[in-house]
Amino acid sequence: MVINNEIWVFLSHSHKDYENVSILRNLLENEGYRPIMFYLKCLDDNSEIDNLIKREIDCRAFFILCDSKNSRLSTWVQEEENYIKSKGRIYEIIDIESDIDYLKAAISRFKRRTSAFISCSRHDSEIANAIQHTLEMNGYTTWSDKGNLFSGFSFNDVITNAITKHSNEGFVIFLLSQHSLVSRWCIRELNIALGDRGTNASSILLVSLDGTKPQDVPELEGFTIRWIDTTGCMPEEGANKVVRFLDFYNTSYRQVYNLCWELSKLDYDKVEDIQKIPYPLPDNINRTLAGCRYILGLDVPTDIEYAISLFKEAAKQGDEDAIHLLSLCNHSEHQI
């Protein structure tokens, strides 16, 4: 079963902004996206509308929140946005009252995020330095408190502003370890990165250094956060794993994510069976569906290389979905 791999984007907007949203829709279509905008005038039952919209959101992977005076006054739009953010989906906030150049730049940001804030305990500075160096060598800009804090400036304000900026325009890379779990500064930075009620959870990438998992962090309860496991990796190896994920995110991830999201609904394998270490998986596990879980990070760490190896196994057996997923993964500009 091959599912359409077109990238559908849900536009959360006020119906009063139809003209401005239409301009954004046309720009997205020119970039090859399939934007969805609709106004449920035929329905007058609030519970029916709420149920229908949530079901539609649950079926989509990518979202643009159309910011405007009208949308900020719309109860429906605010409820849509809160629901989208609570699901940890990939989204971009775009001010649709801005000019055409801004809209084009915003779409470009939606397509590719190139900056990262690195949060870590001082005990994990070696891997943090390796990640920062490797990111910068691969075209990313980075921010850490090293070299960016100066006398005369409020420490809290500088950190808060930097995290907020990267939450909106890039990534917040949080190095997860037993050290960071007991650091009040690290937990504070994580809470800032999450935003109000977890609104920025989709911009966070957790990097586990010692086997610590997101489930070990009380502040993350109820949120879907992408995470990478670098336990046992040398600093350079762990840094390269982070870069490979960000590169993949910025090239093939959206198309692959869309298809994996649809296929994952068919996955009835027990999580404990697909996350056993060491690999390989038991023979009775569907490789394609397990690979989808490792792309999405559903109860397991995001592991692009391992997911691709599972797709290759399934493709050798003639699985059409695996073959299709491999073709999408191969569109990445970065060689996995």
Q: Mind listing the pLDDT tens digit for each residue in 43-57?
A: 555 666 677 888 888
**pLDDT at 334 (0 to 100):** 35
Arithmetic mean of pLDDT, 107-129: 86
Token pair listed for 53: 């919209």
Q: pLDDT value at position 335?
A: 37
pLDDT for the residue numbered 255: 76
pLDDT band (50, 70, 90) for residue 93:
confident
Separation CA 3–CA 64 (nearest Å): 23
Neighbouring-strand partners of residue 171: 116
Task: Answer whether residue 231 shows pLDDT above 90.
Answer: yes
Question: What is the per-residue pLDDT for 6?
Answer: 62
User: Considering only CA atoms, which of 161, 134, 136 is closest in space to residue 148?
Assistant: 161
User: pLDDT tier at 150 (50, 70, 90 boundaries)?
Assistant: very low
Res 120 pLDDT > 70: yes
- Give the C-alpha separation, 102 to 332, whole Å: 27
Gap between the Cα atoms of 151 and 154, Å rounded: 8
Q: How many helices (H) and strands (E) does the chain have?
A: 15, 9
Q: Measured between alpha carbons, how far is 99 from 92 in angstroms, rounded to an integer?
A: 17
pTM of the predicted structure, to 2 decimals: 0.69
pLDDT > 90: percent of the chain: 38
Widest CA span in the chain? 64
From residue 222, give the alpha-carbon distance in Å to each of 130, 141, 196, 298: 31, 30, 14, 13
Q: Which of 73-77, 172-176, 231-235, 263-267 has the lowest mean pLDDT?
A: 263-267
DSSP letter assigned to residue 206:
E
- Average pLDDT over the chain, rounded to whole? 83
Res. 209 pLDDT band, cuts 50 70 90: very high
Confidence of residue 144 (pLDDT cuts 50, 70, 90): confident
330 pLDDT band (50/70/90 cuts)? Answer: low
- Between 168 and 241, the more confident residue is 241
Q: Look up residue 48 and give its amino acid.
A: E
Check whether 41 has a pLDDT greater than 80. no
What is the structure's pLDDT at 23? 95
Residue 152 has pLDDT above 50, yes or no: no
Cα–Cα distance between 209 and 229 in angstroms, integer? 7
The CA distance from 49 to 52, in Å, is 5
Question: What sections of 139-286 are H helices per DSSP?
Answer: 155-169, 178-181, 184-194, 235-251, 253-264, 271-274
Judged against a pLDDT cut of 80, whether residue 129 lies above it is answered with yes
Does 125 have pLDDT greater than 60?
A: yes
Tell me, what's the pLDDT at 250? 78
pLDDT, residue 3, reads 38
Say which range, 86-90, 98-102, 225-229, has the weakest mean pLDDT: 86-90
| Cα–Cα nearest to 274, from 266, 265, 283 | 283
Crossing angle for the helix pair 235-251 and 253-264, to the nearest 10 degrees: 90
> Residue 147: which pLDDT band, with cuts at 50, 70 and 90?
low
Give yes or no for a contact between 176 and 206, defined as CB atoms under 8 angstroms apart: yes
Full set of structural domains in the chain with CATH:
8-110 (3.40.50.10140), 120-243 (3.40.50.10140), 252-329 (no CATH)
Q: Are 322 and 314 in contact (CB under 8 A)?
A: yes
- From first CA to last CA, the distance across the chain in angstroms is 25
